[in-house]
Structure 1
Amino acid sequence: MHIDLSQIDWAVVLATIVGPIAAVLISIFIDGRKASRSRQHWVFSTLMGLRGASLSQEHVRAINVVQVEFHKKPKVIEAWKRFLNHLETDARAEGWDLKHRDLLNDLLVKMAVSLGIDAEALDIARGGYYPTAWANRAHSEDTVLGAKTKFAQFILSPEFDQWVQRMRDTDYRASLIQAVNEQNRKPAPLGGIFAE
């Protein structure tokens, strides 16, 4: 039994085999592009949303993945490199904050353009909303962290060992207790409108 297939028959067989494979490959390609675009949007929106909180973990994470997510966008990468180079300079230098804001603004503008987002530089430069309470809390956390660090340094220092030795000395402890008791017996100064 001999089967004679014409060109049309071969085309149908080929289309039956290749069609689904091509559809899957095209689907994978499109999904990959969507995922990449979604990650780029995440980086951009994170940096936009946290541009007033550049020390937040998410802001730092987003800055660190710019190179990966925008690797095919040379203008974004150049702006990112300038920004990163500035971050590695002394933040106490005069004008550092202004340059930081300008370079971040430039990076965000380049990202917006590469993503097809119509964002004017002025809109980005405004800095977004950052509640004063957040700034106060961050300052308080820094203060507490600084105190914990100093305490830890004290515990690890030779002065702590000397202090422990003094506290073991019965005479020293007794003199401390006596000083505290004497201080507690003194009447508190009245001050204010009751002061003489």
Structure 2
Amino acid sequence: MSAKDYFEITYWLISLLILGFTIYYIKTSPIKAVETGRKLNDEQNKYNAKSELFLTLFSLRGNPTNYNFVNGLNQIDIVFEDVPAVLEAWERLYNSLNTKDQVNPIQEWSLLRTELLSEMAQSLGYQKLKQTAIQRNYSPQAHANQDDENWSFNQAAKKFFETGTILYNMHIESLELMNENKKANPDNNQ
């Protein structure tokens, strides 16, 4: 065999090798593209869930007894499962919320909420958001007035139903007493 034959054999082997790789990559590229797309979509969905939860908690930070705020707190463990700093801040707040006989629980909870929101903001890339901005919140006086009116209405409704129940029970007792009197004195029923 001459050198020309070796070059030709080498050329065809390299060509077959290139063809084999081409076929392999043509076959696997769509699968890898779909896998990459799904991974990116999952990451985007996780980021969106974190962002939505953060914005919910942030917008309700001045009203920590709001049901949406409480529900949001209960989602932190799953939504921020991969952010240890957020989970640690949430654990400190959770433990504080369940600790009785604190000296100043309202102030402690406010500071721990601020710390939690700050950790969440940092993990989402809100680097310029300061804790002083997190501590500020706006709630118009009209909301407080509405809450007071709702509370007063609920108290009045409660009193009305309690009084109605007492009157109903008294009426039932008087009817039962009348029935007993009728049974005891059948001659006086006319």
TM-score by length of 2: 0.74
Matched, 1:37 2:51: no
**1:135 deviation in Å?**
1.9
Q: 1:56 aligns with which of 49, 52, 66?
A: 66
The letter for the 2-side match of 1:13 is: I
How is 1:108-147 mapped onto 2 (pairs within 5 angstroms)? 108-118=117-127, 119-126=129-136, 128-147=137-156
Q: 2:35 aligns with which of 19, 25, 36?
A: 25
Q: What corresponds to 2:86 in structure 1?
A: 76
Matching residue's letter, 1:74: P
Partner residue of 2:8? Answer: none
More helix by share: 2
Distance in 2 between the 1:153 and 1:78 partners?
A: 46
Structure 2 unaligned runs (5+)? 1-12, 177-190
Give the root-mean-square deviation of aligned CA atoms. 2.7
Give the structure 2 partner of residue 181 of structure 1: none
Listed as ranges, the gaps of 5+ residues in structure 1 are 170-196
Match of 2:98 in 1: 88
With 142-151 and 23-32 compared, the bigger mean Cα shift is at: 142-151
Name the amino acid aligned to 2:113.
L
Q: 3-state DSSP class of the match of 1:139?
A: helix
Matches of 2:93 and 2:38, distance apart in 1: 34
Name the SS for the 2:139 alignment partner.
Answer: coil
TM-score (norm 1): 0.72
What's the CA shift for 1:63? 1.1
Amino acid in structure 1 at the alignment position of 2:104: G
Distance change (3 Å), C-alpha of 1:150 and 1:12: farther
The higher radius of gyration belongs to 2
